[in-house]
Amino acid sequence: MRVLTWNVWGEHGPYAERAGRIEKVVRDLSPDVVALQEWAGQRLGYEHVAALPADAPVTVLSRWPIVRQEDRLLPAERGGVLPGRALFCELDGPRGPLQVFSVMIGAYRLGDSQARQEQVRALAAFVAEAASRRHPALVCGDFNAPPDSDELRMLTGRSAVPVPGLVFYDAWEVAGGGGPGHTWSNANPWARPGLYPDRRFDYVLSAWPRAGGAGHPVRCEVVGDGPEPGSDHYGVLAELRY
């Protein structure tokens, strides 16, 4: 299966121009499942769409029917920190149920690691509650945190996991083919004004283990990173066993 995650930056900047670029990238890649953050309403040719109200920045687009969905606010207990959001969809895929979470961690400032860790713990609890461990489970989205951060280390088993037994492959780490895989880059004119370091903020994570190795990443690439990007983030396309 081919899965794309992409923070498409809402309607900021020259949106009409950017929207055409985003649509072209998605149509050219033709993923089976798309997890979008800061989504502005495009269906992008997909029949099955789960989207939250306009003030909630996550959605899932799928080639396969969406048979169940839930969403969860990821709390921000510190003043000035934005809450996160997670949308869960169970898809009726051709090889059995596929469980997909589109995630936006709201704490975006460089010094917000503790708040991000709180939101990641809430996310892990939601995954454990909503998803079966019998079927592939994917967590896709913008975490506003690099892979060596405490918040990502909790999800990939490099530090104590928030939920016992819940741990994920990072598709870029397993199948990205080397390189930093930056999705927030100062080469991107829409990202450059933020004055952040180049970072990998966006992830396709797949729960381990699953029967038959379902969800194991076999290929991963950064997309939407051409000379005329469609968003301030680049996207991540992963191919996974299913």
* Residue-by-residue pLDDT tens, the chain, 242 positions: 999 999 999 999 999 999 999 999 999 999 999 999 998 777 899 999 999 876 678 999 999 999 999 999 999 877 789 999 999 999 999 999 999 999 999 999 999 999 999 999 999 999 999 999 999 999 999 999 999 999 999 999 999 999 999 999 999 999 998 899 999 999 999 999 999 999 999 999 999 999 999 999 999 999 999 999 999 999 999 999 99
Q: How many residues does the chain have?
A: 242
Each domain of the chain, given as residue ranges in start order, spans: 2-240
> Domain 2-240 in CATH: superfamily?
Endonuclease/exonuclease/phosphatase (3.60.10.10)
